Chains A and B, each alone.
Chain A
Amino acid sequence: MLAIENLNVSYSHLQVLWDVSLQVSRGEVVTLIGSNGAGKSTLVSTIFGLNSSPTGRILLRDENILGLPTYEIVRRRLSLVPEKRELFPRMTVRENLELGAYVRSHGDALDHVFELFPILKDRQAQNAGTLSGGEQQMLAIGRCLMADPEIIVLDEPSLGLSPKLVHMVLGTVQRLNEEGLTILLVEQNVRRALEISHRGYVLESGRITKTGPAEELLHDDQIKEAYLGM
């Protein structure tokens, strides 16, 4: 469904991604793991047309979307939950959610979001900037779902959350996948992310160094040592 082929990205003269290839099939949860500075966020922003002059191909349902403006990519039912959430702080929760449906009419999506995150229904008249970190993350995920995407990319959804909230957020990710959503999960909480994933990739210094089924990666000695502290 989403295939990245030989992607190279540079900032000025500094190359950040080197021949990165990655595939996410329909119905899968694929986790991308890597340490800080490995190039994960660059990869995500390149998928969404936020980096200039990358080379390679990014195929969404066999169409090359590399070079398309961000709004065209979102219209193709690929959505992002960004690392910094990128909410509209002086707009209400409801307005944030409605903007999530900017590219299509939201219909049942709002009910679905409120069912997933009942707290957002209670707080719908409140400005997004006044929510707690966990509630903001729920809003970011809910807003992304409002676009009725077929595939979503979650960039570090557990960042800055308490263990209880991490469990809740990643549990929601698992539930969304069970409901049919295809997911690319970029996550530093490696164990929990791989537990809910079908496959995984390891990105180190801008290169994919390892890939395989999530179960296999969870028991990989190198990954255990580098990312699981074992």
Chain B
Amino acid sequence: MDGTIGILSQVAFWGLYSGCIYILLATGLNLIFGVMKIVNFAHGEFLMLGTYITFFLFVISGFNPYILLIGSIPILIIVGVIVERLCFRPILGTGKLNEIFISLGLIYIFQNLVALIWTDEWRSMRSPYADILINLGPIQLPLDYLIIITVTAMILVSLYIFLQKTTLGRAIRAASQNRKGAMLMGVNVEKVDMLTFGIGAGLAGAAGTLWAVSGQVFNPYMGSIPAIKGFAIIILGGLGSIPGAIIGGLAIGMVENFTAFTLGGSWKDAVSFILLIVVLVIRPTGLFGEAEE
């Protein structure tokens, strides 16, 4: 019995860890959707850029890869701001088809640019803590996974404090709830769009760093699958809802790992999407979505 509980706890912990990367990706995606109502299919490419920037900084500096978050996040924020300013602002409000094609174009640009610089070989990194396991009762936890969960929690708490307690954060929340109302309060919504897109890209960059540090392999084309799952999570949690992105990310992480454990790895994506369909049938706006979204 103890052995079963130990194994289930271990699987749950893996789900928590893999959920963390999805949460960061989906939270950024949802923040951008919430404020600008745009769908950026190239969001997975921000995660991919995050992995390569981390890899590059690691190779040239040799710093602890977790420290490199202070490099990857700001770089991705700048990339996000540039993408918003040059690509999405000119087409804002002109129709979803334009957003889709801009996103698709960005996917090809980022993938080919990275392949040109770093080739398209699969790469991986090794964390300095890769061999350290922590014994916690019946389960053994890799230290890296514990650090990743802690770092994700710290990023989410910082984001929460920023959105709740700062003037700029409140302006972002206001613009996401009522864009016209925010404009009438004197909020420069174009500046808010730019900042929000930057933060969203920065969160994807953080997810990229954690992806690389956790030892998962990456290449220039690896962003698509996490992006699809990111979209599934925000639909599951509710478009525009950050708590929804967190709960949805955790749910997908858990379901994937329990499915892989019970049915085998090849079933994990299928079961995740079955969960998505079931939730949407029962509650079409997602777990935390508002009807008007």
Query: Do A88 and B178 touch across chains, with their CB atoms under 8 A apart?
Result: yes
Encoded as 1 (CB less than 8 Å from any A CB) or 0, chain B from 21 to 57 comes to 0000000000000000000000000000000000000
| Chain A residues positioned under 8 Å from B167 (CB to CB) | 102
A69 at the interface (CB under 8 A from B): yes
Tally of A interface residues using CB under 8 Å: 24
**Which residues of B does A touch, CB under 8 Å?**
167, 170-171, 173-174, 177-178, 180-189, 290
**Which residues of A does B touch, CB under 8 Å?**
48, 50, 69-71, 74-75, 79-80, 82, 86-91, 95, 98-100, 102-103, 143, 147
Which of B177, B180, B188 touches A90 (beta carbons < 8 Å)? Answer: B177
| Chain A residues positioned under 8 Å from B184 (CB to CB) | 48, 70, 74, 79-80, 82, 86
The residue in chain A whose Cβ has the minimal distance to the Cβ of B179 is A86
| Chain B residues positioned under 8 Å from A86 (CB to CB) | 178, 180-181, 184
Nearest 9 pairs between A and B by C-beta?
A86-B181, A103-B186, A74-B186, A70-B183, A88-B177, A102-B185, A71-B186, A71-B188, A102-B186
Which of B181, B186, B188, B189 touches A88 (beta carbons < 8 Å)? Answer: B181
Some 25 contacts from A to B, beta carbons below 8 A apart, are A48-B184, A50-B180, A50-B183, A69-B188, A70-B184, A70-B186, A71-B189, A75-B186, A79-B184, A80-B184, A82-B181, A82-B184, A86-B178, A86-B181, A88-B173, A88-B177, A88-B181, A89-B178, A99-B170, A99-B174, A99-B182, A99-B185, A100-B185, A102-B167, A102-B171
Query: Do A87 and B181 touch across chains, with their CB atoms under 8 A apart?
Result: yes
The residue in chain B whose Cβ has the minimal distance to the Cβ of A74 is B186
| Chain A residues positioned under 8 Å from B188 (CB to CB) | 69, 71
Query: Do B171 and A99 touch across chains, with their CB atoms under 8 A apart?
Result: yes
What is the bound-complex CA distance between A48 and B180, given in angstroms?
11
| Chain A residues positioned under 8 Å from B181 (CB to CB) | 82, 86-88
Which of B174, B183, B187, B189 touches A91 (beta carbons < 8 Å)? Answer: B174
The residue in chain A whose Cβ has the minimal distance to the Cβ of B191 is A71
Query: Do A91 and B186 touch across chains, with their CB atoms under 8 A apart?
Result: no
